[in-house]
Structure 1
């Protein structure tokens, strides 16, 4: 019978809870079910016919049972001495005048509903009133950073289109306003607190865009000290360098999530800034951390401005909470990503966007039914760009098998690598790196030994046998082990390791696959007049050639490697210079030339770049010159300069472990 039927009138008739019609039993039954017992409105009901669908949520799913307000973006700019003198503040202000026209909006709306606000800061905070009826913006200073508060409500968060002229005036004035500053110390945590309080006062969710450069050493909550101690590397205390140095930022992250406040952090460090502490709020609120080392306005602006544009324009959901449900026999036991969890079931994200992924670990503790399979439902409750509370549902059914060979045959190696990376990067907060590396090698050997023992045909004991679906697993695992996060070397800056760790914890499978095994493309072999993409080659020095030009990208870094005997016509076409000796490695962009070679390589770069969340800075590398050492770290099948073994040596190591397990 239809699940919506209910008895009425003492049991003589039925009422449908879906359409409210009243019928006798038989007419009702035949009216609502087809000849195979399925509801006739099956294809009209998304929850019956689609794997993914979305509802507008009722007031029961809204904060305080009230419809949510449209979200807000608050731009918070560090106006300390170095940022003013470098021209960074002017660059940010000039770009905001343009990019705010492209604030994201609902598909059916002509304009964005997102409101904007502006704060500048050094040791104190400056709030700006940009109400549309003002002739000039008004500044209010909050000097009590110990008990930070929002000095104005009306006129702080405004509609950009309505207040355009006042905002543009403000953005023109900010670089001049602080032109003579000598203040080099900054606060950081009070900046986040102020933004969160502003969103709470406006009763809306939102995002803070923070542009910051230095370690926050000014006297204020969240003050940090330089703890970049190289002596702790490769000791049991190394894990403390990945942990925030104070609990303050963990608590702040929790408060931000509870308020629907996301933090996106644009960092421009010239020295140690303690990314492990400052980035924790970004990671737990579903935000993104961008890091530009030794930023130079004239050469690095392309990378930063592209990141800023993409970040402001991307479609996102606010104040989100996710639950994962399963059918009987298995359950979700762990979650990894740019998330916060206050309990074991609710995944909380102040913001969820298209560039983030949540990796979920499932464990089965009962027998799974091969006929019905394993069912998973993921439900996300969030607020849309227009301020509408919505519920998005994803359902998936997975096949189950009692045959171990079927499990290996359907294994997703890329997803497995993503999971192992996130598990390892979570584990280093509590275990020595040496232990984590040993666990990864042991798990790899155990998986392959199990296949060898239970699924493979008999063969010589010393022979390494890999399942077809897992042939690339060893190369991925070796790449993971050679990643700077897991390689304890004093030469690698701690901030860089912490940044990579946080970036990977939020990556989806495609991005982590590219990150651990970069794409190496022989540009010189491709036909410049063809639309075909060059086929990737293995990441090894033996694939390079003195007469070649190779492009390498891993999602965070991008290189163009040039052999000493690269064809002059190719060099002329790409760089507009006559020979290898004339190529400058200072540039971070290729010149836009009207010839097939230039157009081809720029289209390759654009195509790879368009699929990645971060804008990659192009580094031009000439064979046999010093920067080539950096490039070689990304040739994953070779021995690393930091001590990681080659792919061949890793295979021997794993095979030795497998033999020991089988014996």
Structure 2
């Protein structure tokens, strides 16, 4: 396997690697089966300019100096972009935008270097002594080995090893770029470029393709001259970093996710996306854009994995990529967008009476509007005479289409006539002996008072909310808050096994009527004495059962907010289905107990969302209390005894967000798809049922996102396309029962290339994340990591086989245009703490991270796996304040010792300070006189009036408003021990938990995509030679 787990996993120990360059200092015991070639065999040309004579030269792998010189006179020493037209086969050349990061040495300096002998290094590095290199014998690529033994795991297992945090050094400065390099055009027949850098090519479309082919971004073969052979000179010393590749790849030249996002922002800047019938590719989820509903749902509500569905299952299987959609049914519109139209149920045209699908623009009208065709079941339904309207035109459009949102809009909402009970807010406080000794009950009570005061102000939408209060230790204390009473009454329940409420009236009272009563109780709670408290504390299920009983007794949904301080213990026996006792299922730490699932189901049926604040830290031992909150649409918030001011600020912010968050209760989600498709799976934070197309949830908010997987049952009609409808039925805060309908129509195609060209890497990342994080409940982590790599490898091999032109050589990696960033995303997902635990990641932290990530929407998911790295100091030629437009790649080489950098992720925000930051900058931002006096760790920036301080604090505040949880700013000083927290976010580098770097992962994807067909007996019917190459991306497109 590619990533080697850390030492806290039960896997056989691996051979340790050398500290400096990542290679073993011991000679291997025997020859290895390694299909990686020597550099003599690397492909030397670019994809679109090779002719047979050049291919013959490449195949030989040996050149005399005279022949090299002869070719060098005809070739340009710089790379170029070529585009070959399908029509006239003319070659168009353009000057690339990106900078060249290293110059090639003269051709006379070329050497035959085994790819596994030296790490890649820049030409202007330090000196080294060749005698100090480890004695490693590279395998012979020509050695005859049994093909069955040459599996991809043989060489994939050598890719990475766990690293000690002490050995992860962030580079002091990035690679320098020469922006003045000149680029000249070159005739198309110059196929071999021995003195060039990397050949970047826009591969031509295949003349055999029945449709116009998408631009194909191919990673061309690197020539011998482009491998930096200056490292072999005795005057140089190797310098390694976490981003260095073992196979001679320059990480700065690989496809950049940052550039993909920047290009998409530039394309949609100042524009609006109109979601019309058979919608085209929308903007990326990280691109802010106004969406206009033109008859198709907004991508904020339903984002299809591909916007061109393959017509049959065979074509879908051939793509090796999933088919599905990301559903955010309760999504909200931005300020400048029109709100979702609302209509009454008595005024709406009824939907299909056979399958239950709601009326939408995808319905086809016939017989002058007397009946309509349902694409979700393929049947015709009659229209009631009260709702009949004639049709017009050849398309059979009803004359009242523009007046009815259900006929013209991709999203609309129906207000039911029946009204239910409004939602309530129930607060539960732990008053056990440990909580009383903790000393922070007074702070919690003050924060609750502040919260209720903000909700009670005039004009607030939650001013009429019903509020209840209870406390608990080993018993339950309920409070009668009836306004008729002169003071509140406390009711004590000692029988907690079978809870029976002594009364119902007065437990939940309107906030404006009970504000004074609650304040008086909150003032007395810190004075409680532990009369009969158990030292072990109450179980975590006790307040959940008590709060649920209150809501059930009053027959209303609501939010249950628990403030728990005692030790985390769990009552009852361990679940037999958890994989540890009495079952053959794989053992998993992520599986909740049967008791937790049962209690969560009761909360779901009542519409009770549990939010838990744990005020003690207990990562070792004890039960994890987060299963019930996350399965009911709530969340778990943990604090270390509220010791510092930062913890208290986060507590206050999180509590305020929970109370003010717009929430849907007792939610029921139904998913309809075209009659020739079916819902094969649904992944997210919910208790799964027997039907993946029917989901029930206790609560949901605008970030709740599910991944829906689809499969073919029959071949789709290319003329009708495909349709997906999501019908959400929920209860609002005021008790209104509403139905929100989202409908997405997609076009279909029989051509595989149409499917590939309509995938987006960010959507695939979110889909894979939700699917894999749900699969950890039942499957081993190593199997999931290998499945991710296999899926991407087979997809690239299939794209290469079926969608590339014949001019693409065996030594090139080819990526679809909108999947350029997929390898770096998938690698970041593979080496996340959930799938690959690190040395310092506890079980509770991994459980928390899994549930938090599963609850993220698409934009935040992308930011989690590829954080935003922003320089805070203006460059020499710019005086603009720091902003998110100048993002850098998430690698240590992007950090300069003279700079300040902000790392933004959904759950953390870090500020990295270089050792050579000017003293005046430290004074302006931190009010610190020098680097040594600057404290590191969690902190608050001082409120200074300098321009830098104002801009940085404004930027951090803006970023904090976009994430679902409060965060503490962490200052990371260069060379400090807390740099490991930053290294986890530099996803393009090798991770502290042993995850592979982006460069190494991309190299192995390329190797596997070419070698796999031969190992599997030609599954794709594709056979290539082993003239493999070091990888670099198409210039002008990727870098």
Q: With structure 1 as the length reference, what TM-score do the two structures score?
A: 0.88
Residues 552, 559 of structure 1: 8 Å contact kept: yes
Residues 216, 223 of structure 1: 8 Å contact kept: no
Q: Distance in 2 between matches of 1:307 and 1:222?
A: 33
Q: Distance in 2 between matches of 1:217 and 1:473?
A: 42
CA gap 1:360/1:237 in 2 versus in 1, 3 angstroms? closer
Shift of 1:96: 1.6
Aligned to 1:204: 556
Residues 54, 392 of structure 1: 8 Å contact kept: yes
Aligned to 1:232: none
CA gap 1:612/1:239 in 2 versus in 1, 3 angstroms? farther
Shift of 1:253: 0.8
Q: Does 1:56 align with 2:405?
A: no
Aligned to 1:272: 619
Shift of 1:18: 2.9
**Counterparts in 2 of 1:507-586, with a 5 A limit?**
507-525=856-874, 530=881, 532-586=883-937
Shift of 1:182: 6.4
Choose between structure 1 and 2 for higher RCO, CA contacts under 8 A separated by at least 6 residues. 2
Aligned to 1:604: 955
**Counterparts in 2 of 1:128-277, with a 5 A limit?**
128-178=479-529, 183-184=534-535, 185-217=537-569, 239-244=587-592, 246-272=593-619
Aligned to 1:497: 846
Q: Distance in 2 between matches of 1:79 and 1:223?
A: 27
Q: Does 1:450 align with 2:798?
A: yes
Partner SS state of residue 146, structure 1: coil
Q: Does 1:73 align with 2:73?
A: no
Partner SS state of residue 618, structure 2: coil
Shift of 1:516: 0.7
Q: Distance in 1 between matches of 2:800 and 2:702?
A: 39
Partner SS state of residue 149, structure 1: coil
CA gap 1:135/1:589 in 2 versus in 1, 3 angstroms? farther
CA gap 1:351/1:430 in 2 versus in 1, 3 angstroms? same
Q: 1:660 aligns with which of 988, 1006, 1011?
A: 1011
Partner SS state of residue 514, structure 1: helix
Aligned to 2:764: 416
* Structure (1 or 2) with the greater helix fraction: 1
Range with bigger deviation, 272-281 or 346-355:
272-281
Q: Does 1:320 align with 2:667?
A: yes
CA gap 1:56/1:125 in 2 versus in 1, 3 angstroms? same
Aligned to 2:397: 38
1:224-259 deviation per Cα after TM superposition (whole angstroms, max 9, x unaligned): 9xx9x9xxxxxx998431112x31111111111111
Residues 208, 264 of structure 1: 8 Å contact kept: yes
Shift of 1:269: 3.6
Q: Which runs of 5+ in 1 are unaligned?
A: 7-13, 21-27, 60-66, 230-235
Residues 337, 507 of structure 1: 8 Å contact kept: no
Q: Distance in 1 between matches of 2:505 and 2:962?
A: 40
CA gap 1:223/1:520 in 2 versus in 1, 3 angstroms? same
Q: Distance in 2 between matches of 1:110 and 1:252?
A: 31
CA gap 1:257/1:111 in 2 versus in 1, 3 angstroms? closer
Range with bigger deviation, 207-216 or 466-475:
207-216
CA gap 1:509/1:138 in 2 versus in 1, 3 angstroms? same
1:321-350 deviation per Cα after TM superposition (whole angstroms, max 9, x unaligned): 010101222122211122233330321111
Q: Distance in 2 between matches of 1:274 and 1:187?
A: 14
CA gap 1:601/1:465 in 2 versus in 1, 3 angstroms? same
Q: Distance in 2 between matches of 1:299 and 1:179?
A: 29
Q: Distance in 1 between matches of 2:491 and 2:1008?
A: 66
Q: Does 1:394 align with 2:746?
A: no
Shift of 1:530: 4.2
**Counterparts in 2 of 1:275-286, with a 5 A limit?**
278-286=625-633
Range with bigger deviation, 35-44 or 71-80:
35-44
Aligned to 1:641: 992
Q: Does 1:426 align with 2:774?
A: yes
Shift of 1:387: 0.5
Aligned to 1:63: none
Partner SS state of residue 96, structure 1: helix
**Counterparts in 2 of 1:342-381, with a 5 A limit?**
342-344=689-691, 345-381=693-729
Q: Distance in 2 between matches of 1:275 and 1:103?
A: 36
Residues 124, 187 of structure 1: 8 Å contact kept: no
Residues 268, 293 of structure 1: 8 Å contact kept: yes
CA gap 1:384/1:611 in 2 versus in 1, 3 angstroms? same
Range with bigger deviation, 339-348 or 115-124:
339-348
Q: Distance in 1 between matches of 2:958 and 2:796?
A: 36
Aligned to 2:385: 17
Partner SS state of residue 932, structure 2: helix
Shift of 1:427: 1.5
CA gap 1:557/1:394 in 2 versus in 1, 3 angstroms? same
Partner SS state of residue 299, structure 1: helix
Shift of 1:92: 2.1
Q: Distance in 2 between matches of 1:93 and 1:109?
A: 22
Q: Distance in 1 between matches of 2:856 and 2:874?
A: 32
Q: Distance in 1 between matches of 2:723 and 2:865?
A: 31
Residues 212, 267 of structure 1: 8 Å contact kept: yes
CA gap 1:457/1:110 in 2 versus in 1, 3 angstroms? closer
Q: Distance in 2 between matches of 1:587 and 1:505?
A: 26
Aligned to 2:732: 384
Shift of 1:104: 10
1:523-561 deviation per Cα after TM superposition (whole angstroms, max 9, x unaligned): 112767648545110111111111111110210111111
CA gap 1:40/1:656 in 2 versus in 1, 3 angstroms? same
Q: Does 1:99 align with 2:99?
A: no
Q: 1:404 aligns with which of 737, 740, 752?
A: 752
Residues 205, 260 of structure 1: 8 Å contact kept: yes
Range with bigger deviation, 617-626 or 457-466:
457-466
Q: Distance in 1 between matches of 2:668 and 2:430?
A: 31
Q: Which runs of 5+ in 2 are unaligned?
A: 1-366, 373-381, 1015-1039
Q: Distance in 2 between matches of 1:483 and 1:556?
A: 14
Aligned to 2:835: 486
CA gap 1:15/1:571 in 2 versus in 1, 3 angstroms? closer
CA gap 1:177/1:476 in 2 versus in 1, 3 angstroms? same
Shift of 1:518: 0.8
Q: Distance in 1 between matches of 2:750 and 2:939?
A: 54
Structure having the higher Rg: 2
Aligned to 1:64: none
1:125-152 deviation per Cα after TM superposition (whole angstroms, max 9, x unaligned): 2212222233333222222222223333
Q: 1:440 aligns with which of 766, 788, 791?
A: 788
Partner SS state of residue 613, structure 2: strand
Q: Distance in 2 between matches of 1:602 and 1:586?
A: 17
Range with bigger deviation, 272-281 or 607-616:
272-281
Q: Distance in 1 between matches of 2:699 and 2:955?
A: 32
Shift of 1:110: 6.0
Q: 1:289 aligns with which of 623, 627, 636?
A: 636
Q: Distance in 1 between matches of 2:882 and 2:891?
A: 26
Q: Distance in 1 between matches of 2:574 and 2:512?
A: 37
Q: Does 1:616 align with 2:967?
A: yes
Q: Distance in 2 between matches of 1:467 and 1:460?
A: 16
Aligned length: 629
CA gap 1:648/1:104 in 2 versus in 1, 3 angstroms? farther
1:19-74 deviation per Cα after TM superposition (whole angstroms, max 9, x unaligned): 69xxxxxxx85xx7579743222112110011111111244xxxxxxx31111111
Partner SS state of residue 95, structure 1: helix
Q: Distance in 2 between matches of 1:569 and 1:533?
A: 24
Q: Distance in 2 between matches of 1:544 and 1:213?
A: 41
